[in-house]
Structure 1
Amino acid sequence: MKKSFKSMFSFFSESWAELKKVRWPNRKELTNYTLVVLGTIVVMAVFFWVIDIGLSYAIEAII
């Protein structure tokens, strides 16, 4: 029982040490990354919408 508690404390201690090493993005970088992600989502949504419409017309033409 004592060993598991010690290993759990060790895990959290090491995790906290690793988090201190992380280089977190500043506000401008975070805004840019967010815009890139949102732009990619919009492009992919439009792409799949166009594919869906095209396949719907193709299936309607066959049937």
Structure 2
Amino acid sequence: MRKMTGIISFFRDGWGELKRVRWPNRKELLSYTTVVVVTCVILSVVIFLFDLGVSELLKLIGLGR
């Protein structure tokens, strides 16, 4: 029974924390999403270029396909 009250207390505390969260409005959410998507695209391009460069370098020294 003691275990059950611990579980109930855990969820009650979690619900209380969620009530104190300041949720973003629509404009902020769009702004944050844009930042994340742009960052992902930039990082993807950087990793692609790095991979391409290493691949070409390995071809030049004869270790690549």
Same structural fold, with TM-score higher than 0.5 when normalized by the shorter chain: yes
Deviation at 1:49, TM superposition (A): 0.6
Residues 4-43 of structure 1: pairs in structure 2 closer than 5 A? 4-43=3-42
CA distance in 1, matches of 2:55, 2:13: 54
Q: Which of the pair has the greater relative contact order for Cα pairs under 8 Å at 6+ separation?
A: 2
Structure 1, unaligned runs of 5 or more: none
Partner of 1:47: 46
TM-score (structure 1 length as normaliser): 0.93
Aligned residues: 62
CA distance in 2, matches of 1:40, 1:10: 39
Deviation at 1:6, TM superposition (A): 1.0
Matched AA of 1:22 = V
Deviation at 1:59, TM superposition (A): 0.6
Deviation at 1:27, TM superposition (A): 0.6
Cα deviation 1:19-54 (Å, max 9, x = unaligned): 100000001100000000000000000001111111
Please report the RMSD computed on the Cα atoms of aligned residues, expressed in angstroms: 0.6
Percent of matched pairs sharing the same residue: 44
**Larger helix percent:** 1
